[in-house]
Chains A and B, each alone.
Chain A
Amino acid sequence: MWALGTHLVLGTATIYAPGIVTQFAQQDAWLAVLLAGMFLAAGGTLLPLLTLAAPGKGLLRALEERTTWLARPVALVYGLFLLHLEALVTDEVSTLWQQATMAQTPATFFIVTVGLLAAGAARAGLETISRVATLVAATLIVLTPLMVILGLNMIHFDEFRPVLATGWEPVLAASQPATGFFNEVLLLALIWGNMGDVRAASRNRGQRFWQAYRNVLLIVLTTTLISLVVTGVVIAAFGPREVTRMLIPTLEYLRVIRLGEFLQRLESGTLFFWTWSIFVKAAILHFLACEAWAVTFGLRDAKVVSLTLLGPLVFLALSLTRDPVHFQNYIMVWGFVSFPFEVLLLAVSLFFIWLLQGRVRPPESRPAPSDHPRKVARP
């Protein structure tokens, strides 16, 4: 859970957040990130509340169990939204690599290869994705302090002064897009019930809530800390004015690092690890998209659509995100655009169902074929 949630935030947040946040808050960008973390800790309560509404299954599946006529259109909206989101994430890879070193390699190559890998991961299942996510998250957490240490000679703490020169208003404004990146974690509500940590029968509702909320807090803490470090280091290295001119300041920071006389310009090496992180995010989104499309078409197993969705994904990634400026603007308003889709629509749907039907327990589902007594091996 921690690894999955962290990856949904980390890749995009560390690449784009420093530039965007600095545009609003200048040298106080680090304060904006800190503030965003505090907002997230408070707003994160929404996630366990939603998942506790349907323990043992994802929200879409819970909605499907209650009513099919509403679940299918809602799932269709989510299916489209998630594919779009995945297309954006997939395109990030090509943007980054083309900007860093491989300008001549066509974007299609990056998009298709990442999409193919994400589809394969979705087919392998959530468990496999979460294991890879844990491995990659651990690597990124080790590499972040390394990145800081390697650039220590460029850091000037004077760049943070004066603190709060323009007051709190720009800091609050800057914290909004930073919070927007975290909204994507709410997408986990669609499948969180499947992960089992809110299902323990021995716990009461309060304990289950706290258990789930601890996971959210851990994600918030990790991502806020890493975003804080990256934003702070970038500002300390270039100064706020320079940072606002850069599209991807983190990449520029890595470009100027010198590792003695042996290796120089480490951005390609860092992109190597970022690719891992972005892939995990794409894989999670692909899995979620598969779930949504499976509900739309009334399929029991979401894995069967994983490769089918590759075509629309490549089409979306190639057609929708060709303009980098459009992409940057899109990210700046990302929080406002994405939030309603990320979980609000589903929450509202569930609320309406609750109003219409009352808090009726859904009928017990039939046992799976493997659980059927006739299928069990006779002693």
Chain B
Amino acid sequence: MNLLPERVLPPQEAGPVSRAVPPGGRTPPGRRSRPGRPFRRGQQPGPAHGPKQGEGLGSGQGLGRPTPGPQIRPGAPVEGTPPIYSLVDRASRTPLSYRVAENLQRIKVILGNSADLVTRTLHVPALSGRLVGLSWLEGLVDGVRQSEYIVASLQKGKSLQEGPARNLPEQGSAPREVQGIGETSHVVTRPRPRESEGLVDFLRQHLLAASDVSLGRTWEDVLKAVLNGRTALFVDGADQALLVETREVPARSVAEPEVESVIRGARDGFTEDLRTNTALLRLHLQSPALRFEEIRLGRQSQVPCNIAYVAGVAHPQLVQEVRSRLLRIASRYSFNLGVGALEQLIEDHPFSLFPTIHHSERPDKIVAQLVEGRVAIIVQGTPMVLTVPTLFWEFIQSPEDYYERPYLASFVRMLRFIMLATSLTLPSLYVALVSFHHEMVPPPLALRIAGGREAVPFPAVFEALLMEFSFEVLREAGLRLPRPLGQTISIVGVLVIGQAAVSAGIVSPVMVVVVALTAIASFTTPSYSVAISLRLLRFPMIMVAGTAGLYGIAWFTLVISLHLAALRSFGVPFLSPVVPFFGEDWKDVFVRAPWWAMRRRPHLYTRGSRQATAGLVPQPALFAERARRGNREKE
């Protein structure tokens, strides 16, 4: 019977693997993932991206021994996710103590005695009165669930002697009870690994009533769990902690999306809670092939982010590309900046004015894109979900298109295309016609325009820039103010200031009409990001139209076309399937073909191209039966 405690190595001596992890989580090249180093396209995330969560350090991986590449398990965190660093790095990467008091003290130290940190100890009758410590963050935990599933369970549990003793370690190796040392009734010796595991297994399997209980071996595991809303449970004599799911995140309920509202479609929208969002996706797509992989973003914030895709449909290289881009930035930023910042950090062309990553707050839309073979990125704390790859034409499509009949949907889509072009070029065309190409305007109209501009002291180009600038100011003011006040400002701005400007001879009436039409046209673009890009492009286009007329517009549109043609979204040409040309994929670009005609997925980024079988054209069963019977009679 060996009562001598097993030596727990400090981090510096914990073996080659732990030596390879200096403070800050930085690892020498070639050994483990280098968080600061960008991954090359198509590169695997490296031979070893840290130990699997829950394995801890020093788990027997020898120095120089080649370790297999990370095996991504659905639902499991992706290896390579950075550990918690910085302020708590050295402390957090040490193993747990086998004394409850030490553990509770240490978590207080690590979290800086934070005001919302709660610790509690209690004696468990089932473990012969052994001391158990609980620690959690107030506000993140459901108190009722915690009381019922943890505290009450521990108090009511069967005693060690009555319980299934076979699960416990040998009697001789049980912790010794030493009386009279301070308030701690149990002073325990360092346990052997089997003892520790036996204790926590007994607690997990026979005492705790909670369904989701995981094991924490290092402080890193414990901190991640506590910060995520779990309750950490320490037992005297065990250098492991039980992490019980008690999370109750303050979150709003599922509501209808405000930006992407539809008339006939589903009314649910994503919320700020990651798990609610993944549940919504699961509800809409009840397929075993739907996969979620977790990556933690932010060196300190450790915000969970999930990659969602449909296995067998999404191209593995695309999934790998998304994974590697997220891992590249995962530990480079201290805090998670939200989906907007994430989008800018992983896109292909950071200097482009056009977004190459699409986002949506509608689960039905995201599910449709997943089924097409795209990959979604869901981040905790944001009700927007990113999808990649993104094609330019998607920004013109609206969820409503897929709920309406194809004719109406196609008509509306074409209308949006025309409005997109109008919102970009209308003011500049007006400036070009008025300044350079008078001959194109018929005389009656030309006279009317000239009459309106008679009192205006500015050239047309300046007039247009002034009006566009004023309009942007009004729009920005309307956005920043509370909604009712914002609307009032917009109406007052448009009606009163516009009328006053015309009366004062600052702008011509035709220019007011042109700018108003442009503004209305810009609102028809479903994507806010693209609408902003076009708003920005409108200014230089007006300038070139004022400098070189229609030639200037032609030149500038060529510049935009060249830029768009050179863009890629996760390797997929941004303007496909128009250029490069894929005729079959045109069914959902300028028009929306009937559902029964869209049987194939986009060619460029999916693996299995067929998404529906033939014979989907609606046909009444009665007619089909009659036709079959007729054919039989003929035969």
Contact A268 B565 (CB under 8 A): no
Contact B442 A97 (CB under 8 A): no
Contact A135 B444 (CB under 8 A): no
Specify which of B440, B553, B578, B581 lies most central, judged by the most chain A CB atoms within 10 Å of its CB: B440
Given known contacts A131-B565, A261-B444, A272 and B550 CB-to-CB distance under 8 angstroms: yes
Set A114, A261, A264, A377: member contacting B439, Cβ < 8 A: A264
* Number of B residues, CB within 8 Å of A: 35
Tell me if A6 counts as interface (CB < 8 A to partner B): no
Contact A102 B439 (CB under 8 A): no
Contact B573 A131 (CB under 8 A): yes
Distance of B310 from chain A, by nearest CB (Å): 25
Render A14-38 as a binary contact track against B, CB cut-off 8 A, 1 for contact.
Answer: 0000000000000000000000000
Contact B440 A379 (CB under 8 A): no
Q: How far is the CA of A253 from the CA of B575 in the complex (A)?
A: 34
Chain A residue contacts of B40, Cβ below 8 A? 377
Set B548, B558, B578: member contacting A109, Cβ < 8 A: B548
Contact A131 B548 (CB under 8 A): no
Render A269-301 as a binary contact track against B, CB cut-off 8 A, 1 for contact.
Answer: 101110110010000000000000000000000
Q: How far is the CA of A125 from the CA of B565 in the complex (A)?
A: 11
Q: How far is the CA of A102 from the CA of B573 in the complex (A)?
A: 37
Given known contacts A120-B562, A377-B42, A265 and B440 CB-to-CB distance under 8 angstroms: yes
Distance of A275 from chain B, by nearest CB (Å): 4
Render A247-274 as a binary contact track against B, CB cut-off 8 A, 1 for contact.
Answer: 0000000000000011111101101110
Set B43, B436, B548, B575: member contacting A377, Cβ < 8 A: B43
Contact A135 B578 (CB under 8 A): yes
Q: How far is the CA of A117 from the CA of B560 in the complex (A)?
A: 11
Render A179-223 as a binary contact track against B, CB cut-off 8 A, 1 for contact.
Answer: 000000000000000000000000000000000000000000000
Contact A113 B439 (CB under 8 A): no
Contact B42 A132 (CB under 8 A): no
Set B44, B436, B554, B561: member contacting A275, Cβ < 8 A: B554
Which residues of A from 329 to 379 have beta carbons under 8 Å from B? 377-379
Contact A261 B442 (CB under 8 A): yes
Render A104-132 as a binary contact track against B, CB cut-off 8 A, 1 for contact.
Answer: 01000110011001001100110010111
Chain B residue contacts of A135, Cβ below 8 A? 561, 565, 575, 578-579
Tell me if A12 counts as interface (CB < 8 A to partner B): no
Tell me if A101 counts as interface (CB < 8 A to partner B): yes
Chain B residue contacts of A113, Cβ below 8 A? 548, 555
Render B388-406 as a binary contact track against A, CB cut-off 8 A, 1 for contact.
Answer: 0000000000000000000
Chain A residue contacts of B47, Cβ below 8 A? 378-379
Q: How far is the CA of A176 from the CA of B580 in the complex (A)?
A: 34
Chain A residue contacts of B553, Cβ below 8 A? 272
Set B44, B441, B549, B554: member contacting A379, Cβ < 8 A: B44
Contact B558 A97 (CB under 8 A): no
**CB pairs A–B below 8 angstroms (28 shown):** A93-B551, A101-B439, A102-B549, A102-B551, A113-B548, A113-B555, A117-B559, A121-B562, A124-B562, A124-B566, A130-B579, A131-B573, A131-B575, A131-B580, A132-B565, A135-B579, A264-B439, A264-B440, A264-B442, A268-B440, A269-B440, A272-B550, A272-B551, A272-B553, A275-B554, A377-B40, A377-B44, A378-B47
| Residues of B near any A CB (own CB < 8 A) | 39-40, 42-44, 47, 69, 436-437, 439-442, 444-445, 548-551, 553-555, 557-559, 561-562, 565-566, 573, 575, 578-581
